[in-house]
Amino acid sequence: MTAPVPAGERTTPPGARAAGRWSALLRSRSGAAGLALSSLVVVATLVSFAWTPYDPSRVSPRESWAPMSWEHWFGADRLGRDLLSLVLAGARATLLVSAAATVVAAVTGTLLGAAAAITPRWVRAPAGHAVDALIAFPTLLLAMVLVAVYGAGTETAVLAIGLGEGFFVARVMRAEMARVLAADYVLAARAGGASTWRIFHEHVLPGVLPTLTVLLSLVMAVAVLAEAALSYLGYGVPSGTPTWGRMLHDLQAQITVRPLVLVWPGVAIVATVLGFNLLGDGLREAGDPRVRRS
């Protein structure tokens, strides 16, 4: 027996639904602004792999604290390194670590959410309590524990941020999966003898995917902040790798005499976090007709 699908899915082709959401995203002010900001950051990161004005590790004592000019658009730091080159190079590590942590959060959150929503009660109840307990565990504290065990590094930062945010994703996914499981077409699939895996694969995952997409854009914004904080504290990527958080740490001693040099990594962090947050709001508006009509 084939389970029925929701009326909206029967009457609207998948391609048309995707095109409609994309159009709604572009019509949304927050969505368009978030897409523009996040795209700018991603493009700048990709460009940095092929080109930067100077070698980020290039030291030139004669250009120490060089002001903004055509040679150094953002100026130079105490060692004469070009700040624009450092900001571009810092985007690589910051976004790559944040993106990898978001993938870890997506996998962890989806699996834990499924364990707390779909499995038999003797598994579901302990999994739900575990998610409620783990969500209270701070990401920075988790990073410190992992650093104490494995040492500081990129993998440690990715794991700490991914697990910390994954517990939050799991709590949302548990509620969303429970909502989908209560739908009439899922009950019909159960009555037709569909297996738990088939219900999860064919009904639950497609049903929670829009919410998961919105959630992951917000997780990406939080991951950027978390990576910057870990790098600032020395728990992030190796010390020789430029990151925005490490730039803030290295330049903070000059905040009273050369405050402008801290603006650039700070603006990069704010623009990236704001972009992904606005993109998440736009995706939520595009996926929820009730929000678009309000």
CA distances from 191 to 43, 195, 197, 208 (A): 49, 10, 15, 21
**69 in a domain, yes or no?**
no
pLDDT of residue 2: 43
pTM of the predicted protein model? 0.87
Residue written as token pair 């027996």: 1
Task: Assess whether pLDDT exceeds 80 at residue 290.
Answer: no
Cβ atoms 139, 196 nearer than 8 A:
no
If one counts every other C-beta atom within 10 angstroms of the C-beta of residue 39, the result is 12
SS3 288: coil
Nearest alpha-carbon partner for 17 in 280, 289, 290:
289
In eight-state DSSP terms, residue 259 is: G
**Which amino acid type is present at position 249?**
H
In eight-state DSSP terms, residue 67 is: P
User: Across residues 19-25, what is the average pLDDT?
Assistant: 76
Question: In angstroms, what is the C-alpha Rg of the chain?
Answer: 23
With a pLDDT cut of 90, the percent of the chain lying above it is 48
CATH number at residue 50: 1.10.3720.10
pLDDT of residue 56: 92
SS3 of 135-184:
CCCCHHHHHHHHHHHHCCCHHHHHHHHHHHHHHHHHHHHHHHHHHHHCCH
Task: Assess whether pLDDT exceeds 50 at residue 7.
Answer: no
CA distances from 79 to 66, 232, 248, 276 (A): 10, 19, 15, 33
Nearest alpha-carbon partner for 223 in 44, 109, 97:
97
Total domains, the chain: 1
pLDDT of residue 106: 96
CA distances from 171 to 26, 100, 121, 214, 222 (A): 29, 20, 17, 15, 16
Quick one: tokens of 66?
């060089």
**60 in a domain, yes or no?**
no
To 5 degrees, how large is the angle CA 9–CA 13–CA 14?
Answer: 85
Task: Assess whether pLDDT exceeds 60 at residue 88.
Answer: yes
pLDDT of residue 5: 47
Cβ atoms 232, 246 nearer than 8 A:
yes
**147 in a domain, yes or no?**
yes
Distance between CA atoms of residues 203 and 205, nearest Å: 6
Contacts of 33 (CB under 8 A, 6+ apart): 275, 278, 282
Quick one: tokens of 206?
């497609």
Cβ atoms 32, 25 nearer than 8 A:
yes
**59 in a domain, yes or no?**
no
pLDDT of residue 18: 62
**8 in a domain, yes or no?**
no
Structural domain of 198 = 20-54+74-293
**61 in a domain, yes or no?**
no
Task: Assess whether pLDDT exceeds 90 at residue 3.
Answer: no
**10 in a domain, yes or no?**
no
Cβ atoms 98, 220 nearer than 8 A:
yes
**64 in a domain, yes or no?**
no
Residue written as token pair 């988790």: 142
Q: Which of 162-166, 204-208, 290-294 has the lowest mean pLDDT?
A: 290-294
User: Across residues 219-246, what is the average pLDDT?
Assistant: 90
